[in-house]
Amino acid sequence: MAPLVPYLGILLKGALVTLGLAALSLVFASVIGVVIGMVATSRSASARAFAKLYVETIRSVPLLVQLFFVYYALPLLANVSPSPYHAATLALSVYGGAYMVEAVRSGILSVGTDQWMAARSLGIRYRVMMLYIVAPQALRVTIPAAMGIFIDMLKGASVTSIIGFVELMQTAVNIRNTIFALSPIAAAAVLYFVMCFSLSRVGAGLERVLRYEDR
């Protein structure tokens, strides 16, 4: 353990990079989730089919393959060559977005159709109804699910090390290759555990606060 001590600082920095990447991707994933989630609950069958295609495709392809696609194949398609960081953010956002769509969709569907019909019969417009009637209730379902997705994205961020983005996992592997000991990997495991476990506790707490059926 002793040779690890000088490296603890950069390990912590790696953990912050991981958190930053996951948080930024979560923001983008939430935007995707809300937009496509509304498409997924719209009345147009073809729009719903499009949303389903996006969700099913992303969920049926490993995150690593999506990262490879963005990092290696996208430059051949369009004249862009994303840095590992940009590729990681894009892939993780699109990946998390697919799960977010499902969270938003189940949130919207948790609001009973009688409320939709009541709003419509009162002549309330779609946008107003969504914002003031559906959204506040849907969030009770969506927010706890989003916490779970955030934890998955935090763990998924480790995969971005494979395209050369230096976050916590890659930092640990680099240190291991310098001092030839297992302790950096174990330390990274502890850091991941601390981050994910505390987030999951927060998520469980939120779920308790937001639940209202059995009150």
Binding string, 71-100, against another protein, x = CB under 8 A? -xx--xx-----------------------
Among 59-67, 101-109, 118-126, 128-136, the segment contacting another protein (CB under 8 A): 59-67
Report the residue number, 31 or 190, with the smaller CB distance to another protein: 190
- Residue 203 near residue 147, CB atoms below 8 Å: yes
**CA 27, CA 97: separation in Å to the nearest integer?**
9
Question: For residues 35-54, b (16+ Cβ closer than 10 Å) or e, as one string?
Answer: ebbbbbbeeeeeeeeebeeb
Report the residue number, 12 or 162, with the smaller CB distance to another protein: 162
Decide: is 24 part of the binding site for another protein (CB under 8 A).
Answer: no
- Residue 21 near residue 161, CB atoms below 8 Å: no
Report the residue number, 85 or 192, with the smaller CB distance to another protein: 192
**CA 73, CA 54: separation in Å to the nearest integer?**
19
- Nearest alpha-carbon partner for 40 in 127, 129, 99, 105: 105
Decide: is 65 part of the binding site for another protein (CB under 8 A).
Answer: yes
Site for another protein in 107-166 (CB under 8 A): 151, 155-156, 158-159, 161-162
**CA 174, CA 164: separation in Å to the nearest integer?**
11
Binding site for another protein (CB under 8 A): 57, 59-62, 64-66, 68-69, 72-73, 76-77, 151, 155-156, 158-159, 161-162, 169, 172-173, 176, 181-182, 185-186, 188-189, 192-193, 196-197, 200
